Structure 1
């Protein structure tokens, strides 16, 4: 097993470069990431991490004035009312541009904390401390921040780079098995769009690779972070290459909306990836074997690969409001093969429906 003292640093390039640090026990070294000049810190956290957030506050209290903002769990945190609650705390504590926000939680919390940091005084320092698999490999890395509206997911937000991301692998050990597996949807995505080694590791030993104590687990987490770091370092504002990170997300986000955000993100993206693979196959791009490989790997992780047949029109309506749409033209990330993603623009509606029939239950 990897020595607990080992630290991996993954650089994210761009106009505001930063580092993703991966290792054990890192959240207690946050002062190094906050740097000089910071006087006040707001830690945004969910109720499930109240005790850990208080421990984090105590570890920083000798250097900073530290406040806590407890926000709802999961997608319920990503509402304008919750962002306003955080802004109120910042205002009442007289936070200035030299102060900092820490996002301490899963992907929804880091999305919210990033949006709060980006919008307070048009930008204060942000350090992300993701505590879930999803947060580490996806949400906390890349500078996408946002909240949801009644019309869809992440429709309000900002591109805002953190000063640092601290991926403390110790935080994963307390997660339930289902939450770990749900986070693996984004890892599988990275395997299909860029890093086939991830797929090979899962196929060779799915139980070992999903065990947070294993070297294989750390390996796929670091490979996935590396994929995102390379992509966003070249295309921070999603003007081109970064779109490939949305593989499986167009239908996935529509499913989350249809389920009123009661589903785990990974479950929705899992179905979305199988749909995108079927769309790729029906468009004459992807071999049958790669489509079946999607199903086999995702089902080995006990993730869903189908969705009710009668929901298509609702999902299509939501997809038309997706951020990746251009006017009335839908756009999907599809595959020509493993590690060969591309964009399918304005596919015929009959093709979209036919692909949905392949995943309909």
Structure 2
């Protein structure tokens, strides 16, 4: 009887977390890794996701998944202009997300909800959380340094800086030309997206970084001086939970078998992720650079990486054959396994 009562008490203290990942590879993976970490700490996990780039629920049988419509037209449901995509989705998802979250909060048959965790770029979710009176914690999936640069961009625009060699006083020793820019048809979308994301981060209940203090001490100090919300640098998540099952693209496992035949720390690993695009001249510059390096290389060439090409068509005839096995090209790789492999010497 005492044991039954103790189990019942433990069950009553289980709290639920609702997570809402951004539907891009570099955002879904760390969010699901974070969910797995929190699950081991005793939380039950509910994932709200869009119909665009949905995660595979069968890979996470211990989570509950809820899909919401994202209202994307067929012509919009791609990452050719990721800033425009996120701008549209931050508008389209307001009502379906609010309705889904309200329904989950009202469901007394489930564990009580402790808080909402959303990607930092889902800026609309802050106002929804405030309306429904639930704390919102933000996950930022990139490094602290890179996000500080994005935070600076709207301010620099207001100063009307245009000289590429101009020093960025907020981010020494960087110059204007060093700052990250994301190609988009309408630059106003980029500045507005970043401004809204930063504004709603400031209003949130806290921010989780997939980073750690020893890696970015100066950047974290700068961040905490400017942002007064609680900050949790608890990464790197992949050290706790590798998330290969969250890949949106089919991983070519020949990457690993090929690496197994290479000398320790000899291979250059090259990948530009799931969104970046190159023109043919840039692609060929990289190809010849790798060929002339005389180093073994593993190169991820995602279909559509080269504008106007399906895959490897721009490569000269006999390019791969002339390497005599020193190069291996795949459409997508199990990246965490590749980076951890003893043969990988640089990336």
Q: TM-score, normalised by structure 2?
A: 0.30
Q: Higher helix proportion, which one?
A: 1
Which structure's CA Rg is the greater one? Answer: 2
